[in-house]
Structure formats: C-alpha cells, structure tokens
Chains A and B, each alone.
Chain A
C-alpha cells in the first residue's frame, strides 16, 4: 500500500528526520537555487517543481574536500584522514540528478574504490521529488528518464495537489517509511491523480535528443575537424557546463601548506580548460575544438563504451547556464548522418 503526506506536514517531517540524519533540501541563496542544510526554514521549495542550479551531487562530491592533512615533527611526516561522514538525507532530489549519481557511481567504483565519494554515497539517503513543471531546457525523457519517476532514489514523492504520494523504491526507503510519522494511507484516487500528474509532466518536456546510434555517429565524425571547429567557435572555454553538470566528475588534486602543516584537497576541474591536459613540453588539447570534441565524445561515446550508459541525464543545466547559449542538443542533432561501414 502506498503512503501519502500533506504538504503542510513536510516541515515537521524534515524536522523529525533531522534527528537521525543531516537533512538537505532545495534552498535559494541570492537567487541561486541549491541544496542546503534544513534547519526549520521555509519549505517554499515545494512550489518550485523544477531542478536547481547547483545539483545535489555537490553533497557527495563537494566543491572542494580535504583528502588528508599532514604535519611534520621531529619524527617526520604524519598523515591524518578526515573524520567519517555523517548520515545524510537529501530531500527533494530530481530524477535527473538521482540518475546522474548512479552514472558517476560506475567511475568511482571501477577497479579502485574511491573512498571519499563512496563513503558519502553509502551514508546518504535519497528522497526524490518529481518535477511537474520542467524547464524548456530539460530533455530527460530522451535519455530514458521520466521527470516524475526514478529507480535511483530510496523514496519517490509525486505531487497530487495538496499532498505528495510516497512510493518506496529500495529497502532503505521501506525502513524509512516505517519509522516516520505524518504519513497516511493513499487511496486509489490518489494513485490515479499521481499517474495523471506524471503524464502531464512528461508531455511538458519538449526538448529532444536523438540517441539512436549516437556513439556510432560520433565515432564516424571524430576526425571531422571542420565540423568540430564550426560547432565550437562560440564556446568560450569556461567551466560552467562541466562544473555544474551532475554527471561530470573530473577533479584536480592540490596541496595547501601553511608553515609546517597542510592538507591535500580535491577540487572540481574541467576538460574545457586548456591547462587540463597541459604537459611541460606540449599540450595535446591546445585547440578549443579538441576540448569541445572531448567533452561531447566523452559523455556520449566513451562513457557508454566503458560503462554502457550515456553520461548525461538531460537536466539541461549546460544549456540554461551557458553564457553564450551553446546547446548540446543542437550540436548532436547537427552531427553528419554518415556512418562509416
């Protein structure tokens, strides 16, 4: 049997969850929508119905994080790992952002386990919230996603008017429902309202991306320098699309030293920057078209070759936030249709 909760009770629910977890919910700071710690603030984010500028991936792979600290004494160096992470609950994650976490899990688990990301991932519960009013830059439906349903969260909430329908997706979700108050049994009409809301939301996603044979088409156009130069000429090589993309994970490692103590940090990096691949004597991606080609092919060709999933969840942030309105769906639609034998 499904449960439901009244929108008026969400604040109380979050307060109750806050006793066991560190709860993160969508919030707005200086006009920028992001995820921040819930401390009894207003729950007006429930009226937003669309995704945030800063994706909740920032809770698992922060802007910068300490890997370990070191200090030197007469015995030599001592290295200390940071304290273990708290249990977190991300409330209100959208299906595109949840799928994105599943996509980047594959990299962090592959061959070597990345302790920082995986530790946080294990200790984070996801409560999904469906988008009933997606942006015109969203194209999640082209990548096999629905704006209102997700198999990558622990609990999924669907807006049915004054209430949310709650569905458990994982065992952790079932356990969470069992210990939560404010929930009521959902009726058949609630479920049909939810299905109607889902249908309407999916029809609002109008931007399309044709993913048929996409990897093959990119492979056959890989050496077409004219195409890549034309497509990249207005890109300004900033890092906005990559640093805000929920499926991008590239990072830089650097040290900070203050007198005899310091730390090693991991921070976001971008393949759009020229220095990303710079070596002392040469730089294989000096030209801008090579970097643009790398970004597009990595997401839609190389990542599927290694992990059988396109490294994109159609959240549309790259299109919405690009200062020159560079549009990945237009670029991929303009790929020459030749497929080499």
Chain B
C-alpha cells in the first residue's frame, strides 16, 4: 500500500518546510500503566485542527525542542473530532522527557505520516483485532473509527493481552468495548495477580482458543515482534490467508518521510510505504530485518 498522493498533506506543511513542526499543547495526561502515558493534545493554532486530516494507523513525529524527535502513532480516531491523542512508553531520553511534561506544555508535531489502515478493504467484513501491550494504541484508533461507523462492518472480535493486569493499556476503553453487545471483547494477561479474575494466557494461545472464523474476515494484529511472530501462524491455522492478515511494523525512524534512510526494508521505507502492511506483502519482502 505505497503512498502515491500526498497532495492533501502538502497544505499542511509549516512554511513549506517538511521538517518544521507545528506547535501543539498538551491538554490532558492519562496514566495507562506504570510506564505508559497517553497525552491529549491540540494545535496551538486552533484553526489547524479543522484542516488536519489523518487516517487510523498513521503516526506523527513529536518533538521536545532541545532533546529530539520520535515517532508515535496517533491513538485517537479521526472520527472523534474533539481529541488528538498519542501514547508513549518510557524507554529512553526522549520518552522520559515526555513523561516529565505537564498539562499546558508545548511540544512539536509533524505529520501525519505513513499509509494508515486500508478502511476500504475492511468494509462489510468481520474484523478480528489482536493486540499486545502498547500495540493496542494504533488499533485503538481503528477500533473507535469502526465503532463510529458501525453499520459498515460486520462482527468485531478484540483479543488483547498484556504482561500483567497493571500493564493493560486503555482500561477505560476495554470496559466500554466489553459493554458493547456487538463486540466480542477478550482480555488476557500473561500472568495474573491476586485480584485478577479474568483469563490468563499468551495472546496467540488465547487467539487459538477463541478461534474466530476466517470466513469473510480480516485480522489486524499489532504488538511486540515476538507476539506477532506467533500470531501469524495461528491465524493461518484458523484459515486466514496472507491477504487477510494486516499488521503495523515498527522501526527506528528519524525523518518520517523516507529520506534519512534508516527505516528501510529492502527498497521500501516503513515510514513512507508503511507502517501498515499485509502479511502477503511482508512475505514478499526482500529482507527479514524487521
């Protein structure tokens, strides 16, 4: 799904300079887990929100001036006009600096980049979402997008797991999706604790137990690479063809626009030609370095 037409995004460049960020302000901070936070943000120039076009699965390059820039997916849905969100796990100098921000702080934002999920391929299909840990963030944007256009899609299965109950992200969303009668919400943890009364098991195992039908279905998976490596064979066993499996890949990125060279897999750039790929495309990749 390579990017062909970005003319609509060209209107969104600051001073015609593709590297110059917009200024955005942090409006709300939610602690998801001990090391993960979701930030609600909005453009300093409120008029920009009207023009800001993005698709579920796209990402932005967020800057803390003086420390650096890093890519994070936009975890809110484009159908929810009142908010823009991104979710960050604390692993290094920039993410630690992001976690030290308070409401009202100003950061930079460049985007939206990437190809996003192909909504047209999902219409009238049964959707199976498989996510692990913070991998739920890009899928969350898509899930709310689908829910807000519910009659365009058929059944929805969501299988989500984390290392422990405390590591489950978006607990408030999990509750909402559980209450929704048109969604089959399955939550699991690798290891329970004293208060956990739900399922225990790795996501690929639970997926095999739930065994959603592959008939007229599309599976969208996102999570740590090791989870994805075990999820694809399970989906294949359940009858999903490579074209019916979609995922988003993660690589170290800097420019986000296919120029600095580091996120390549063969001749494709994950920032520009991805990060969303079908398993059929991944199987055809020249290189296994992802």
- A interface vs B, CB < 8 Å? 67-68, 70, 72, 76-77, 79, 81, 107-108, 110-116, 219, 222, 249-257, 262, 264, 269, 271, 276-282, 284-285, 290, 294, 297-298, 301-303, 305-306
Contacts and interface: CB of A to CB of B under 8 A. Distances in A.
Given A112-B258, A253-B255, A284 B106 contact: no
A114 B289 CA distance: 27
B196 interface: no
Contact of A107 (B23, B66, B259, B287): B259
Contact of B260 (A70, A253, A303): A253
A219 B287 CA distance: 10
Interface centre among B66, B91, B289 (most CB of A within 10 A): B66
Given A249-B261, A253-B260, A290 B289 contact: yes
Given A115-B18, A284-B290, A298 B224 contact: no
B17 A280 contact: no
Interface in B159-184: none
Nearest to A70: B65
10 contacts: A79-B23, A111-B257, A250-B260, A251-B261, A253-B68, A264-B69, A280-B92, A290-B289, A298-B261, A303-B267
Given A251-B255, A305-B267, 15 more contacts: A67-B20, A77-B65, A112-B257, A112-B258, A113-B18, A115-B17, A251-B254, A253-B254, A254-B68, A262-B65, A262-B66, A271-B262, A281-B91, A294-B287, A305-B266
Contacts, number: 125
B21 interface: yes
Given A81-B20, A279-B251, A112 B287 contact: no
Contact of B258 (A72, A76, A111, A255): A111
Interface residues on B, range: 35 or more
B15 A222 contact: no
A168 to B, nearest CB: 32
A215 to B, nearest CB: 10
B255 A285 contact: no
A269 B262 contact: yes
A249 to B, nearest CB: 7
A307 B67 CA distance: 34
A79 B20 contact: yes
B20 A68 contact: yes
A255 B260 contact: no
Contacts of B23: 76-77, 79
Given A76-B106, A254-B68, A302-B264, A115 B16 contact: yes
A251 B261 CA distance: 7
Nearest to A256: B66
A252 B19 CA distance: 13
Given A70-B65, A76-B44, A282-B225, A277 B20 contact: no
A112 B106 contact: no
Contacts of A281: 91, 224
A216 B45 CA distance: 51
Contacts of A252: 254, 260
B120 to A, nearest CB: 22
A110 B4 CA distance: 11
Given A81-B15, A251-B260, A253-B69, A280 B91 contact: yes
A68 B17 CA distance: 10
Nearest to B255: A253
Nearest to A257: B66
Contacts of A301: 267, 286
Given A77-B106, A113-B18, A249-B261, A279 B250 contact: yes
B6 interface: yes
B252 A277 contact: yes
Given A77-B106, A81-B17, A284 B289 contact: yes
Contacts of B258: 107, 110-112
Interface string B1-40: 0010010000000011111110100000000000000000
Interface string B198-236: 000000000000000000000000001100000000000
Contacts of A294: 264, 287, 289
Contact of B19 (A67, A107, A290): A67
A286 B21 CA distance: 32
